[in-house]
Structure 1
Amino acid sequence: MSTVAVGLSHSPLIGKNDPPGDVLSRVAEAVGDARGFVREFDPELVVLYAPDHYNGFFYKEMPPFCLGTEALSVGDFGSQVGPLSVDTQAATYLAQGVLDRGIDLTVSARMVVDHGFVQPLEVLFGGIDQVPVVPIFVNGVATPLGPVSRIRALGTAIGEVAATLDRRVLFLGSGGLSHDPPVPVLEGASPRVANALIEGHSPTPEQRARGEERVVQAGRDYAAGSTAMIPINPAWDNALLDILEAGALRELDEWTVEAMGREGGGSGHEVRTWIAAFASLASSGDYRMRSRFYEAIPEWIAGFAVATATHG
């Protein structure tokens, strides 16, 4: 058994509100390097940590994290629609092993996912059905949020159980770093919005299109400097990447929920997916970060990063 990790930011605005060509070229080079890294490793299983944006998980039941034994993509923002190629046997095995280690893991036999799960599979593998995957939702927007130590513990337990598989396993974290897009919040919401956040009624195609256009416009407004969103924070983003590169993951236990939101924005908690992925890799011993890329991209409302890591 061998393991590697990749952290890859996502954004629904890619291809819809792009930055200048030189920025796109740098992103393409970094993504191409990660794609080559994955191709060389040739994973037999991908453990994918990703958030949700109120497309699959709602306040009626909002777990801090959840493992899917099956998963279906809703196809938001033009992402691929349909079932992910979930390895149900491996997913069930990982879930039981994590529970045996004292982590209160929620399991979904019919997980619904959005672009946060789909984009990395499209980018690295060309689709959602190209490689066996175990999808793990990590809440990054819906308060209340638990301490980072529990996310690290989840990643560690997943890594320990995966180490008992005789397979090449890629731990993949999908999340923007600092970013504060217009994601609705339950506190203070109108009755209509609150009901949607709680019950999770699927929007009509027209409602989804209008909502997605609002996000695209927010990216344009942010890039033009006319927005009230919390700014992208390169210093905070690179502090996180420094910790991940050093393998000093226990330092993150001191990061508070409040400070992360203040420094990283309303969706900055998506970095929990990266923390889980690197904790999974670290469970098998010291690792080294092989590549690291970062760029603040206002057009995508994201501190955008790509990193690869391996043992030895």
Structure 2
Amino acid sequence: MSIKVKCLSHTPLRGLNDPGVQVVAEVDAVLAQARADVEAFDPELIVIFAPDHYNGLFYDLMPPFVIATAADSVADYGTLPGPVAVDGDTALAMARFILDNDVDIALSHRLQVDHGCTQALEELTGSLTRYPTVPIVINSVAPPFAPYRRVRKLGDAVGRFLAGLDRRVLVLGTGGLSHEPPVPLLAGAPEEIADFLIAGRNPTPEARAARQARTVAAGLIYGTPECAQTPLNPEWDLGFIDLLLEGRLEEVDGFSIEEISRIAGRSTHEIRTWVAAFAALTAQGPYKARRDYYRPINEWIAGYGVVSAEAA
């Protein structure tokens, strides 16, 4: 068994809002290299830790962690439609192993996944079906959240399960870094918004288009005085990346959810997917990692980063 990790920000505004020719070229280049790395590794399995943005999971039943034996893309923001090539047998065996190792995880036999999962698969493999995949969704948007120490334990359990497979495994973490798009909170929400957050599955095309338009508009003013959202925080982002590169993963156990929300933005908690991915790698032993790219990109509402790692 060999394991490699790629963690990368996602942004639904890539291709919709223009941050400038140079930035687009930089991101295109780093993603092309990441895809070449994946091609060269030729994984026999992809495990992807991803968030959801009120597209597949809602407050009528909001698990902190859920693993899918089957998944379909909601195709938001122009991402690919259709089923993900989920390795259902491996997903089910992984779920049993995680539960046997004292981490509670929900199971879905028909999960809807959004750009938080599918964008990375599309960018790194060109498809949702090229490689057998196990999607694990970590609640990163809908408070209250599980503490970061539980996320690390989840990743550790996944890593120990993978150690028993005789397969080349690519582990992806997708989301973050600092950012705060206009995602509503349930607390204090008007009835119409609350109803959506509780049970808003399968919206009409018109409702989805209106939601997309609000995010696009937010990106056009993000980081300016007109924007009410928490600005990007490059210092925090780079400090978090350094923590991963230097193998200081246990420090995330002390992360304050409230403090991160305040200084880096409420959706920064998508870094939980990075924590889980690196915890899975740490379960194999020492690792070596590198920062492939980082830039704060207001137009995409993203502290945009790419990090790679493998066992040392």
Q: Which residue pairs with 1:308 in the alignment?
A: 308
Per the TM alignment, residue 224 of structure 1 is displaced from its structure 2 partner at its CA by 5.2
Q: Which residue pairs with 1:123 in the alignment?
A: 123
Residues in 1 aligned to 2:272 and 2:152: alpha-carbon distance in whole angstroms: 8
Asked if 1:194 is matched to 2:157, the reply is no
Residues in 2 aligned to 1:30 and 1:282: alpha-carbon distance in whole angstroms: 25
Per the TM alignment, residue 291 of structure 1 is displaced from its structure 2 partner at its CA by 4.1
Q: Which residue pairs with 1:16 in the alignment?
A: 16
Residues in 2 aligned to 1:3 and 1:136: alpha-carbon distance in whole angstroms: 17
**After alignment, is 143-152 or 23-32 more displaced?**
23-32
What does 1:131-170 align with in structure 2 at a 5 Å threshold? 131-170=131-170
TM-score of the two chains, using structure 2 as the length reference: 0.98
The answer to whether the 8 Å contact 1:34/1:307 transfers is no
What does 1:26-175 align with in structure 2 at a 5 Å threshold? 26-175=26-175
Asked if 1:249 is matched to 2:265, the reply is no
Q: Where in structure 1 do 4 or more consecutive aligned residues deviate above 4 Å?
A: none
Corresponding letter in the other structure for 1:63: P
Question: What is the aligned residue count?
Answer: 312
What percent identity do the matched residue pairs reach? Answer: 48
Residues in 1 aligned to 2:181 and 2:280: alpha-carbon distance in whole angstroms: 28
- CA-based RMSD of the aligned residues comes to 1.0
Task: Show CA shifts across 1:237-274 (max 9, x none).
Answer: 01110010011100111111111111220101000000
Residues in 1 aligned to 2:216 and 2:225: alpha-carbon distance in whole angstroms: 14
**After alignment, is 17-26 or 111-120 more displaced?**
17-26
Residues in 2 aligned to 1:176 and 1:80: alpha-carbon distance in whole angstroms: 21
Corresponding letter in the other structure for 1:206: E
Residues in 2 aligned to 1:38 and 1:225: alpha-carbon distance in whole angstroms: 40
Residues in 1 aligned to 2:295 and 2:159: alpha-carbon distance in whole angstroms: 29
Task: Show CA shifts across 1:98-155 (max 9, x none).
Answer: 1111111111111111011110010000011111100000111111112100000000
**After alignment, is 71-80 or 288-297 more displaced?**
288-297
TM-score of the two chains, using structure 1 as the length reference: 0.98
SS of residue in 1 equivalent to 2:180: coil
SS of residue in 2 equivalent to 1:293: strand
Corresponding letter in the other structure for 1:301: I
Corresponding letter in the other structure for 2:228: A
Corresponding letter in the other structure for 1:302: A
**After alignment, is 289-298 or 249-258 more displaced?**
289-298
Per the TM alignment, residue 18 of structure 1 is displaced from its structure 2 partner at its CA by 2.1
Q: Which residue pairs with 2:180 in the alignment?
A: 180
Residues in 2 aligned to 1:112 and 1:17: alpha-carbon distance in whole angstroms: 26
Residues in 2 aligned to 1:128 and 1:225: alpha-carbon distance in whole angstroms: 39
